[in-house]
Amino acid sequence: MSDAERGFPAHGRGADDILAELRRRHDEDATWRQGRMFSLVYHPDDAELERLLHRVGEAYLHENALNPFKYPSLVHMEADVVAWAAALVHTGAKNGTMSSGGTESIFLAVHTAREHGRRRGISHPAIVTASTVHPAFAKACHYLDVEHVRVPVRDDRRADADAMARAIGPDTVLVVGSAPCYPFGVIDPIPELAAAAAERDVLCHVDACLGGWILPFWERLGEPVPPWDFRVPGVTSLSADVHKYGYAFKGASTILYRDPELVKLQWFLYDDWPGGLYGSVTTAGTRPAAPIAGAWAAISFLGEDGYLAKTELVRDATRRLQTGIAAIPGLEVTGSPDLSIMEISAAAGPEALDIGAVGDVLDDRGWHLDRQQGGLHLMISPYHGHIADELLADLADAAAHHGASRGRAATYGGIAP
């Protein structure tokens, strides 16, 4: 019988007993420290940073960012994080806010576009995206009663800017491009999308939740990076998660705008109740303090030189894996990823491998590669350089010796129990 089936606990338990059970339960979870996970946790390969973040999390565990007058330290740290993010993507230091993650940043971008459209008299707003856009846009449209127009991508998996331009209608309030898209790690043609949006007086959002904290440093390492941020005319908003390649712990993202007036459309203000003025700049009321402080601490700890060093490790591990995968008969990297996110798929041919069965073998050997509808998904972190050769050896063996697929479905996350 589960704890939930037993009903509410009649008596409290000792701390040691609780911690022992937590350890037992935690042992059932996927582990990330050995570098065998390629999503959910971005392993920075940095014990000192990890110790710092644990101390920061403990220090700010109980604080609440709901009331800025009580916790000015959080106001100042959030302002710093936003300003630092803005500097990376070339917008104003005050032109944005933090959020709890990429989904909330995307939600806020769609909400802002909806409100901007309402001020232009649009009562049935719609957004236009590529079919590879993150599902958080569909989720935001669902909650905000916004139509979601999805457009098929080109053969190279990038957004079809011409087709998306044709999909823009009189009720369109937002055009979206990804930098990069999650499934294939390719950057959409942002200049063309932004130009099409600007020509019709429509906002343009760049979803850089994945790339926002690594692309600036990827570019500084001399790698080719197509235009993607506020240097592109017509880009009006951009999302970038600090808890991905910013190496902070979970619950930290940024949503940034070109025009500070757009930030005001996020605000919710209400005083028609006995409790006084209630104001919030994001969807949350109570906001955990630890992710704000953790993001501030991670960025302060690493600085530009630290991020460059981490990005170099990611780049080198990515190249090793891409080269190694290309050498395995029957496997290939899907398309041409622009950075460290990729899909491994079965190479075309009369006897194509069963990529699901390859994934089954890797599961049995303790690897955690996410399943997509066409292959296995990897997001490379700094630590993965340590295990690249081991993964390639197991991939080669799985490609050469595997049985029938067990039919495991492609899932991204959030499946209800």
pLDDT digits (tens, 9 = 90+) for 33-81: 898 999 989 999 999 999 999 999 999 999 999 888 899 999 999 999 9
Percent of the chain at pLDDT above 90? 87
pLDDT of residue 68: 83
Do both 221 and 194 map to the same domain? yes
Do both 212 and 236 map to the same domain? yes
> What mean pLDDT is reported for the chain?
94
pLDDT of residue 201: 96
Confirm whether 35 is domain-assigned. Answer: no
More confident residue, 30 or 392: 392
pLDDT at residue 325 is higher than 80: yes
Q: What is the pLDDT of residues 123-182, one digit of tens each?
A: 999 999 999 999 999 999 999 999 999 999 999 999 999 999 999 999 999 999 999 999
Report whether 232 contacts 205 (CB < 8 A): no
User: Which neighbouring-strand residues pair with 318?
Assistant: none
pLDDT at residue 349 is higher than 90: no
* 175 Cβ contact partners less than 8 Å away, ≥ 6 residues apart: 127, 128, 129, 164, 168, 193, 194, 196, 197, 202, 203, 204, 205
* pLDDT band (50, 70, 90) for residue 351: confident
Which segment of 157-171, 213-227, 347-361, 398-412 scores lowest on mean pLDDT? 398-412
Confirm whether 18 is domain-assigned. Answer: no
pLDDT of residue 258: 98
Q: Whole-angstrom Cα distance, residue 412 to residue 410?
A: 7
Point out the domain boundary residue: 301, 317, 350: 301
Q: What is the pLDDT of residues 277-310, one digit of tens each?
A: 998 999 999 999 999 999 999 999 999 999 999 9
CATH code of 322's domain: 3.90.1150.10
* pLDDT band (50, 70, 90) for residue 412: low
pLDDT of residue 413: 59
Q: Whole-angstrom Cα distance, residue 89 to residue 112?
A: 19
Number of structural domains (the chain) is 2
Domain encompassing residue 347: 303-398
Q: Whole-angstrom Cα distance, residue 151 to residue 21?
A: 48
Confirm whether 322 is domain-assigned. Answer: yes
More confident residue, 239 or 416: 239
